[in-house]
Chain A
């Protein structure tokens, strides 16, 4: 037991923070669950200690008069004592616990439900599709749809409805610091409502096992003030127009992209490939390969050269037929793609 106590102490000291920590909530739904957890930990911890203490106490040396089996009064006394144990511990204890738990727990779940808002307004919808092993993010909008991948930008301080599905196998959409997870199932659309209290960056991770690279299916979630969000969306829409003007110094890399990458990858205004992630603003994203590699100068070229080593089994073919210089030039051009 001392070892256990030390362990508990270590964990308590180490704190609860972390990009994926359920116990470091940043939104109302996650906060409710974090409180539920602490309350249950204390309540159930007490139950646990009492039961274990009762068990161990039964083995204490006792000096009791010899029982005389067969005597009806002894039998009756024992029967009544036994009944008290069973009714108290077996019926009353779990019964009360369950009632309390349901009374506090069920309302907490409501926040994740896409129910109508009190004011009658409809929250913004963001569509997320899981692929082996990356995230497709779409922003439906009257002014024109914006598509991105592996990097989700959302407005802070207001509820957002996520409509999720799976393109190939079942994945699960989960931003631990904002709230619970929901499965992304081929052929269905599931809905979940999340809200970030304040601007910030949150980790997200596919939570349903989806194949060998399940580990490298991270989503970078960024909550920004609503006006910044609107600006970002507008910039992404305008990016399309900008691209139609040729940029001479990078024309070679661009045509290499069109030749080698365009059939799978979309760059708004340039290509419409849908097999791999959209790359329209890849230069502005935090990571490559859905969380495999941090974005920095030269990272794209490294990814292009080594991606089958960094994320073995991913669906992009190796680029052994291209020279390292070509990959470097391609990477440098891709890094310029920003909203």
Chain B
């Protein structure tokens, strides 16, 4: 099955046919040259590498901050940094490593690898990839700029209120955090949405879910967890920024808010976040272990179940970060047991890897050395994690250096070590050159020993009572020696990482030429040329096995010679195959948009919004917001039958058809997954409402709900009518009826407008005082949420009416109204749920009286 590295076959020399295909595909798929190329690229390989390079820069900056911390703590009573600077440095170290390094880095890896592994030419929303990158870059720059301006956030990386609220953090530091992080999260959500849809809908023909590479399973889980896990923090950030900037007391006890709400919203995100980081890294391990053991993984199904179970359990653990908050005993017992339970799927994976190694013939190559380092550190971190799940023990060591040590064991062991294993493993694919064994091993040992020297001892420092985030300590505490050892270890680890980076850079450029498929791997990415061309696959192979390259080592030649599906690009479109989510059966040909400056400009507009909010120049933010809206609508305009996409023509393929000629293309899936994220945001908002209502210590509810029921009902009636009509019309369009489409869509848009107008009337009639009580502030946010969605639904359907008039939507192009209909359906659901929760329920329960 698994052989030695496939010998460079004679046929790898390009044949004339392969060269013709290459030049044809390169014309269509190529990145533009010159400065335009820098800004308008949408290709997933280029952007994936950019994500990783940017993540690396932020990693190095975060690492410098870590060294500053270790310098300050090396000796007692140091005044290397002032307390203010130390607070900024610790806050930024955590924030940068989590939000600007770990997540974007793994997203970048997934963006680079996933299409190559599942046999696709690109991700399904290339412009979204670019938009995500720019949001990440600008958000990161904004956040990091605060440190250079010496006004960085200083309330700790989890920004607990009220320490982060305007009374106790009056400077702009917290605003930098809230706005910068939200900006970066837009990027994560973009990646989450498109990776989910790409994995589900663009796999190679025949690659049913049960034949998918495990890495894709892990990334699918990560993406869905990003989609569901990030919105609560975005909501929290929005609410806290509203409190800081506009004085709405969501987290202030006196106004009926509750600081603990922030903790719930933060950890609702924060705990899944740990697994969002760990799962892709475990995916690297599950990919490398079978390759270096020379045999298929033992228990593929067990691993998939473990991934799915981990994903679900991770959303039920957040309270274990809050055991000392004083929550009811029963809830503590539940979350304690759940936190321990997550050890089961993790242990399953560890023993799957062990079994695979024992039943195979493993080689300790450089990537495997890093995986071994991962195992040692991560098992240790996992075990201290189980300890921490035990409530009485948690009460003692919570917020001490024991937790700092545990967290670094889990995150550095669970993410950084597999990441480097992956870097060494995929380096030949990206550069065509092999890493060096000697410098690489030196780097590994320095990093591994330095890491353990720093953090193993830190458990002990924590047990001796050293709390986290103190900028200095007294010699009498007896923590001197351990801190000094930790600091020495820290610098040793830094030296190791420097050696690794030198190795990767030098050998990526000057290393020995890599043979084809140097590690003898089984997955599709190794069938490509090294480095792979922009379009990845010259022709799209059928995949009938979990190990396509072990089954057929010459697959790469066949692909390059165009022996598989849809070779070349004579039609001038960027095409890939859309497949059924479960079976991998081919459904349609997906045509992708080409290079575009729109994502850059849209992200720039959002950066203007951020800067406007930071400097409290609100008109500037409004201008930015309007600009972003116009650009995003323009972006959606260049789709389907538009002349810059795939205009109707005589050479349309019939079987399978182009996706814009069908009713259920990937765009519908993208909308669906995006609405899933939106729904998570909505649920977090609903949670906030009920939480404040029932738990907040000084909640104030008016005797009579200020919301007018008749106005709400009328607004809801318009919405309901519009949605039902739209559904009917979309169904008719699918049957081929296009008469009067423009008129009907315009009428539905008018109903949407009426819905919004009545909602605005209800808002105005309510006379809310959002700065006085958390009750009114929450109502305002809820209504604003409905207004934004209602307005968007109305505008999008109005644009559909225009497109119908221009012939861009019709019986032959029935795709788009169905996508917008999903948004209408969603708005219908959230409108009635929210109306019931904020206007009806208080009346029924007689709350406040």
Q: Please list the residues of chain A having a beta carbon within 8 angstroms of any beta carbon in chain B.
A: 3-4, 7, 10-11, 14, 16-23, 29-30, 32-33, 36-37, 40, 44, 47-48, 51-52, 54-56, 58-59, 62, 64, 67, 69, 78, 81-83, 85-86, 88-91, 93-95, 97-98, 101-102, 105-106, 108-109, 111-113, 132, 168-170, 172, 174, 176, 179-183, 185-188, 190-191, 203, 205-215, 291, 312-313
Q: Is the pair A90, B362 in contact by a Cβ cutoff of 8 Å?
A: no
Q: A168-B168, A207-B399 are in contact. Are A93 and B347 (CB under 8 A)?
A: yes
B386 and A172 contact, CB distance less than 8 A: no
User: Within 8 Å CB of B162, what residues of A?
Assistant: 168-170, 186
Report yes or no: B351 in contact with A89, Cβ–Cβ below 8 A: yes
**In the complex, what's the smallest C-beta–C-beta distance from A168 to chain B, in angstroms?**
7
Among B344, B387, B482, contact of A44 (Cβ-Cβ < 8 Å): B387
Question: What residue of chain B has the Cβ atom nearest to residue A47's Cβ?
Answer: B383
Please tell me which stretch of B424-432, B459-467, B661-669 contacts chain A, meaning at least 4 of its Cβ atoms lie within 8 angstroms of it.
B459-467
User: Complex: how many Å from CA A10 to CA B488?
Assistant: 15
> Is B83 located at the chain interface by the 8 A CB criterion?
yes
- Distance between Cα atoms of A215 and B472 in the complex (Å): 6
- Given the known interface contacts A51-B350, A86-B302, A214-B470, the answer about A97 and B386 at a Cβ–Cβ threshold of 8 Å is yes
Stretch of B236-244, B325-333, B495-503, B793-801 that contacts chain A: B325-333
Instruction: Answer yes or no: B361 CB below 8 A from chain A CBs.
Output: yes
Chain A residues positioned under 8 Å from B30 (CB to CB): none
Judging by beta carbons under 8 Å apart, are B392 and A112 in contact? yes
Do A209 and B160 touch across chains, with their CB atoms under 8 A apart? yes
The docked-state distance in angstroms from the alpha carbon of A205 to that of B472 is 13
CA distance A6 to B298 in the complex (A): 37
A215–B392 CB distance below 8 A? no
B260 within 8 A of A: yes
CA distance A59 to B469 in the complex (A): 41
Q: Which 3 A-B pairs have the closest CB atoms?
A: A180-B395, A20-B465, A187-B253
**What distance in Å separates the Cβ of B434 from its nearest Cβ neighbour in chain A?**
21
Closest residue of chain A to B695 (Cβ to Cβ) is A188
Bound-complex Cα distance A17 to B479 (A): 11
Contact B477 A18 (CB under 8 A): yes
Knowing A55-B357, A82-B359, A98-B340, the reply to whether A185 touches B326 (Cβ < 8 A) is: yes
A180 to B396, Cβ gap below 8 A?
A: yes
Contact of A106 with B333 at beta-carbon distance under 8 Å, contacts A81-B359, A186-B162, A188-B697 already known = yes
Within the complex, the shortest CB–CB distance from B305 to chain A, in Å, comes to: 10
In whole angstroms, how far apart are the Cα atoms of A211 and B820 in the complex?
48
Interfacial chain B residues near A47, Cβ < 8 Å: 379, 383
Residue in A closest to B298 when the chains form the complex, CB atoms: A82
Known contacts A4-B456, A20-B477, A215-B473; is A48 also within 8 Å of B379 by CB? yes
List A contacts of B416 (CB < 8 A).
Answer: none
Contact: A81 with B355, CB < 8 Å? yes
User: Is the CB–CB distance between B392 and A91 below 8 Å?
Assistant: no
Q: Is B611 an interface residue (CB 8 A)?
A: no
CB <8 Å contact, B463 and A180: no
In the assembled complex, the Cα of A212 lies from the Cα of B83 at a distance in Å of 6
Is B452 an interface residue, CB under 8 A from the partner? yes
Give complex CA distance A30, B160 in Å. 28
Least CB distance, A47 to chain B, in whole angstroms: 6
- State whether B379 touches A19 (Cβ < 8 A): no
**For chains A and B in complex, what number of residue pairs have CB atoms within 8 angstroms?**
274
Report B324-364 residues with CB < 8 Å from chain A CB: 324-326, 329, 332-333, 336-337, 340-341, 343-344, 346-352, 354-359, 361-362, 364
Known contacts A23-B464, A86-B302, A207-B467; A105/B347 CB under 8 A: no
Residues on B with C-beta less than 8 A from A183 are 324-326
Other-chain residue from A36, A78, A94, A179 in contact with B390 (beta carbon distance below 8 A): A36
Contact among B344, B396, B485 for A95, CB-based, below 8 A: B344
A-facing residues in B73-94 (Cβ within 8 Å) = 82-84, 86-87
B449 contact set on A, CB distance < 8 A:
3
Chain A residues near B154: list those with CB within 8 A: 212
Nearest A residue to B368 via CB reads A59
CB of A88 to closest CB in B, whole Å: 7
Contacts of B340 in A (CB 8 A): 94, 98, 101-102
In the complex, chain A residues whose CB is within 8 Å of the CB of B332: 109
- Identify 23 residue pairs between A and B in the complex whose beta-carbon atoms are under 8 Å apart, listed by A's number: A7-B485, A23-B464, A33-B392, A40-B393, A58-B358, A81-B358, A89-B347, A90-B306, A90-B347, A94-B386, A95-B344, A98-B337, A109-B391, A169-B162, A170-B162, A170-B259, A181-B324, A190-B325, A205-B465, A211-B163, A214-B467, A215-B472, A312-B82
Main secondary structure of the interface of B (DSSP, over half): helix
Least CB distance, A60 to chain B, in whole angstroms: 10
**Do B392 and A105 touch across chains, with their CB atoms under 8 A apart?**
yes
Contacts of B83 in A (CB 8 A): 212-213, 215, 312-313
**B1 interfacial contact with A, CB 8 Å:** yes
Q: Which of B337, B472, B481 contacts A102 (CB 8 A)?
A: B337
Extra contacts, 5 of them, besides A86-B355, A180-B392 (Cβ < 8 A), are A22-B463, A94-B386, A168-B168, A169-B160, A313-B83
Give B560 Cβ to nearest chain A Cβ, in Å: 28
| Interface pair B392/A98, CB less than 8 Å apart | no
Give B677-699 as 1s and 0s: 1 = Cβ < 8 Å from A's Cβ atoms. 00000000000000000000110
A51 CA to B352 CA, complexed, in Å:
12
Residue contact B390 to A187, C-beta cutoff 8 Å: no
B521 to chain A minimum Cβ distance, whole angstroms, is 17
Known: A89-B354, A185-B260, A215-B471. Contact between A18 and B398, CB under 8 A? no
Residue in contact with B468 in the complex, picked from A51, A203, A209, A313, CB distance below 8 Å: A209
Q: Is the CB of B396 within 8 A of A30?
A: yes
Cα of A26 to Cα of B399 in the assembled complex, Å: 21
For A93, A112, A214, the residue with the greatest tally of chain B CB atoms inside 10 Å of its CB is: A214
Which residue in chain A gives the minimum CB-CB distance to B260? A185
Contacts A181-B395, A211-B168 given; indicate if A22 touches B465 (C-beta within 8 A).
Answer: yes
A-contact bits for B276-289, CB 8 A (1 contact / 0 none): 00000000000000
Q: Separation in Å of the A134 CB from the closest CB of chain B?
A: 15
In the bound complex, do residue B399 and residue A172 qualify as a contact, i.e. CB atoms below 8 Å apart?
yes
> Residues of B contacting A185 with CB < 8 Å?
259-260, 325-326
Q: Which residues of B contact A94 (CB under 8 A)?
A: 340, 343-344, 346-347, 386
Neighbouring B residues of A29 by C-beta, 8 Å: 392
8 Å CB interface, B191-228 against A: none
Q: How far is the CA of A30 from the CA of B352 in the complex (A)?
A: 39
**Chain B nearest Cβ from A262, distance in angstroms:** 25
Q: How far is the CB of B830 from chain A (nearest CB, A)?
A: 31
B26, CB-defined interface residue at 8 Å = no
Residues of A within 8 A of B160 (CB): 169-170, 208-209
* Minimum C-beta distance from B89 to chain A (A): 12
- Closest chain-B Cβ to A174's Cβ sits at a distance in Å of 8
- Bound together, the chains give a CA A185 to CA B167 distance in angstroms of 16
A182 and B398 CA atoms in complex are apart in Å by: 10
* Bound Cα distance A186, B253 (Å): 7
Query: Is residue B185 contacting chain A, with contact meaning CB distance below 8 A?
Result: no
CA of A52 to CA of B374 in the docked complex: distance in angstroms? 11
Q: Which of B329, B349, B474, B479 has the most CB of A within 10 A?
A: B474
Question: Does B476 interact with chain A (Cβ within 8 Å)?
Answer: yes
Residues of A within 8 A of B168 (CB): 132, 168-169, 211
**Once bound together, how far apart are the Cα atoms of A98 and B333, in whole Å?**
13
Interface check B258, CB cutoff 8 A: yes
Whether B766 sits at the interface, judged by CB under 8 Å, is no
Contact A172 B471 (CB under 8 A): no
Which of B398, B472, B485 has the most chain A CB atoms closer than 10 A to its own CB? Answer: B398
Report if B400 contacts A (CB, 8 A): yes
Once A18-B478, A40-B387, A168-B168 are accepted as A-B contacts, the answer to whether A52 and B452 lie under 8 Å apart by CB is no
Query: Does B457 sit within 8 A of A, measured CB to CB?
Result: yes
Residues of A within 8 A of B479 (CB): 18
Residue of B nearest to A23 (CB): B463
A57 CB → nearest B CB, Å: 8
In the bound assembly, the distance between CA atoms of A108 and B336 in angstroms comes to: 14
Give the docked Cα–Cα distance between A170 and B165 (Å): 12
Q: Say yes or no: A59 contacts B464, CB within 8 Å.
A: no
* Residue B156, interface by CB 8 Å: yes
